[in-house]
């Protein structure tokens, strides 16, 4: 197959071939809005565009080299890896990380040049919910506790609104960063969330769901939960969200989840992608245990992807990169040095 760079007038062709939000043209434009380097490529057979994908490129500090990230693409077979290897050389990549949007149950040969990555960026496990099923069947497939909590939220008068205004975005940001701080994980910064919101909202691919509760004897409603939902092709994605510690007894997050399911059905979408989960064998000490239990309660199918792989071009720099990545003091020192320059 012939490898060529995709041009701007091929957007429609490109989007027809890719299968995941993170490979979409719109996601690539969002990444560019952050100042990143994004390139799109096509593999042509008999003059016709047969496969398409995009890769982001990230500079390695104090070197002329880059790390490439190929997220949620097709099966990394020989044909594809031949192309990616050529790209890695032309773009001066020490390595390219490849995380295919391919389930482990799907047939296909992975190119042996790939190394299993010591540092995945995307979770290997996920939940996918079939939105083509009737509402009563979707409810039936949920965990009994989840169904019960939906009724609790309805009893307390929790109301979920679909919003795209600036006030809703402010509510979302507040709840998101409250959640990251409370649960002790590193999320994206405010600029990242604003940029993804602006890039995808303008393409009618993003919306916010805000769950409100009006406590007795209070004059105003309180926002208790917020989700950013993104759609591409026939799939609804739940990449980001946040919740309040107040009034947990009214089960606002569960109500937001149920309204998200119903929204996906109204939009005529087929799949609700919950954007990742912990290993099913993980215990309560796993940082994603709570998220995973919540998502499992919605009754989706637990799936496992092929995993995370690295196509290495510069072995010395590759191993040095991961050694530094594991050393928190060195990483902090590098970040300080980069900020000074």
Tell me the per-residue pLDDT of 282-292, one tens digit each, with 9 for 90 and over: 988 888 889 99
Q: Which residue has the higher pLDDT, 134 or 333?
A: 134
The pair of structure tokens assigned to 144 is 């009994």
β-strand partners of 163: 208
Contact 62, 335 (CB under 8 A): no
pLDDT at 340: 39
Q: What pTM does this model have?
A: 0.94
CB 66 within 8 A of CB 93: yes
> 6-15, 215-224, 279-288: which has the highest mean pLDDT?
6-15
Taking 90 as the threshold, does the pLDDT of residue 194 lie above it?
yes
pLDDT attached to residue 330 = 43
Q: In the prediction, which pLDDT does 339 show? A: 39
Q: Which one, of 115, 55, 120, lies nearest residue 91 by Cα?
A: 55
In the prediction, which pLDDT does 332 show? 43
pLDDT at 337 over 80: no
* pLDDT score of 327: 55
The predicted pLDDT at position 174 comes to 98
Q: How confident is the model at residue 108 (pLDDT cuts 50, 70, 90)?
A: confident
- What does the pLDDT read at residue 185? 80
CB burial of residue 136 (10 Å; 0-12, 13-18, 19+): exposed
Domains of the chain, start order: 2-122+306-340 (3.40.630.30), 125-304 (3.40.630.30)
Q: Mean pLDDT, to the nearest integer, of 194-201?
A: 97
For the chain, give the mean pLDDT. Answer: 93
Q: What pLDDT is recorded for position 333?
A: 44
CA–CA distances in Å: residue 265 to residues 130, 131, 236, 256: 10, 6, 10, 14
* pLDDT score of 321: 87
Q: Per-residue pLDDT averaged across 243-251, rounded?
A: 98
pLDDT exceeds 90 at position 253: yes
Residue with the larger pLDDT of the pair 289 and 107: 289
- The pLDDT score that the predictor gives to residue 338 is 39
DSSP state of 247: T
Predicted pLDDT of residue 334: 40
Residue 148 clears pLDDT 50, i.e. is over it: yes
Structure tokens at 88: 């890695």
pLDDT of residue 218: 86
Dihedral sign from CA coordinates of 97, 100, 103, 105: negative
- 10-63: per-residue pLDDT in tens? 999 999 999 999 999 999 999 999 999 999 999 999 999 999 999 999 999 889
Give the whole-angstrom CA distance, residue 100 versus residue 308. 8
Q: What is the model's pLDDT at position 336?
A: 44
Overall average pLDDT of the 105-126 stretch: 93
Question: Please, how many CA atoms are within 13 Å of residue 126, restricted to the half-sphere of its CB?
Answer: 23
d(CA 207, CA 230): 7
Lowest mean pLDDT among 9-18, 266-275, 281-290, 321-330: 321-330
């Amino acid at each position: 197959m012939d490898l060529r760079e995709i041009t701007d007038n091929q957007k429609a062709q490109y989007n027809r071939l890719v299968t995941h939000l993170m490979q979409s043209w719109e996601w690539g434009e969002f990444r560019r809005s952050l100042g990143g380097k994004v390139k799109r490529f096509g593999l042509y057979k008999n003059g016709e565009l047969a496969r398409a994908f995009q890769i982001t490129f990230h500079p390695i500090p104090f070197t002329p080299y880059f790390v490439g990230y190929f997220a949620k693409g097709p099966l990394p077979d020989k044909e594809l890896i031949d192309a990616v290897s050529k790209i890695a050389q032309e773009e001066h990549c020490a390595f390219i990380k490849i995380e295919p949007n391919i389930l482990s149950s799907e047939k296909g040969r992975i190119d042996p040049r790939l190394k299993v990555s010591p540092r995945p960026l995307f979770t290997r496990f996920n939940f996918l919910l079939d939105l083509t099923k009737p509402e009563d069947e979707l409810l039936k497939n949920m965990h009994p506790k989840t169904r019960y909590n939906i009724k609790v939220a309805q009893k307390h008068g929790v109301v979920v609104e679909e919003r795209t205004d600036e006030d809703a975005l402010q509510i979302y940001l507040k709840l998101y960063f409250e959640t990251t701080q409370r649960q002790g994980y590193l999320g994206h910064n405010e600029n990242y969330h604003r940029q993804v919101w602006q890039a995808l909202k303008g393409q009618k691919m993003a919306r916010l769901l805000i769950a409100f509760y009006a406590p007795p004897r209070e004059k105003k409603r309180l926002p208790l939960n917020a989700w950013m939902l993104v759609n591409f092709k026939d799939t609804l994605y739940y990449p980001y969200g946040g919740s309040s510690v107040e009034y947990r007894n009214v089960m606002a997050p569960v109500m937001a989840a149920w309204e998200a399911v119903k929204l996906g059905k109204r939009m005529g979408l087929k799949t609700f992608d919950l954007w990742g989960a912990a290993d099913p064998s993980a215990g309560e000490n796993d940082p994603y245990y709570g998220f995973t239990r919540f998502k499992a309660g919605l009754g989706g199918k637990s799936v496992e992807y092929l995993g995370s792989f690295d196509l290495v071009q510069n072995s010395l720099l590759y191993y040095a990169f991961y050694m530094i990545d594991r050393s928190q003091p060195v990483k902090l020192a590098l970040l300080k040095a980069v900020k000074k320059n």
